[in-house]
Structure 1
Amino acid sequence: MFTEGLKIMSDGEAQGFIREVNLSYIMLAQRMLREDRLVGMFRLGLSAQSAELLATLTLAQTVKLAASDHVLCQCRFDDHTILSTLTQSGGHVDVAPAHTAILLASQKAAQFV
C-alpha cells in the first residue's frame, strides 16, 4: 500500500520545518530588499510598508518572527493563471517571463496586519 512507507510528522517536527522556512524566507526577503528595494518588493509581492519593516528587522526580531507557528511566506499557487504561465513549456518561451511579470504586477501587494 502507498502509505506504508510514509512517516507521520509530529507537531514538533512540523514546527521545526515551519521555523526553517520562515527564517529562510525572511533572510531571502531582506537580502532582496537591501539589494534592490523595488525589484524585491515586486518579486515578493510586498507593499512599501511591509518591505520597510522586513528590511529593518534586527537579528533578534528576525529570529522571533521566524519562530511563529504560522508559515509567513505566501505562495502564489492560488492563482491558476500565474501557476499555469510559470509551468507552461514550449510555445512562446521568450515572452513567458514578461507575461508572468505582468500577471504578478496586477496582484495587490501583501500587507502585514
Structure 2
Amino acid sequence: MATKIIMLACAGGMSSSLLAKHMQDAAAADGIDAKVFAVPAELIGDDFAKYHPDVIMIGPQVRFVAPQWQKKLDIPVAVIDMLDYGRMRGEKVLQTAMQLLAAQK
C-alpha cells in the first residue's frame, strides 16, 4: 500500500501535533503506511501545495474553515469529532481518515 498522507489542522498546530503522534503510532501498530502531520489552520493552503495530502482533518475549534477547503480541494476534508479530538483518540481519528479515503475511490 502506498503511503497515505494525512494533514491535521487546528488553531495553532499544537494540540493537533499531539493527536498526529497518536495517529502515527496507531498507524504503525495497525500496519498502515501513513504519514500524519499537523499545521495551523492558516497554513493549510501552503502545506497542501507542499505535501499534497490525501486527506485533511480539521480540529473542531476551527471547524468554520472546513467548508471553504471542501469547496477548493478535490480530496476529503472533514472536521474531527470533538470527543475524539479532546480525548486524543488517535486510533479513532485514523479510522475516520482511512474511511474517508476508502469512500473516495
Alignment TM-score, normalising by the size of structure 1: 0.27
Q: Specify which structure has the higher proportion of strand.
A: 2
Q: Specify which structure has the higher proportion of helix.
A: 1
Name which one, 1 or 2, has greater alpha-carbon Rg: 1
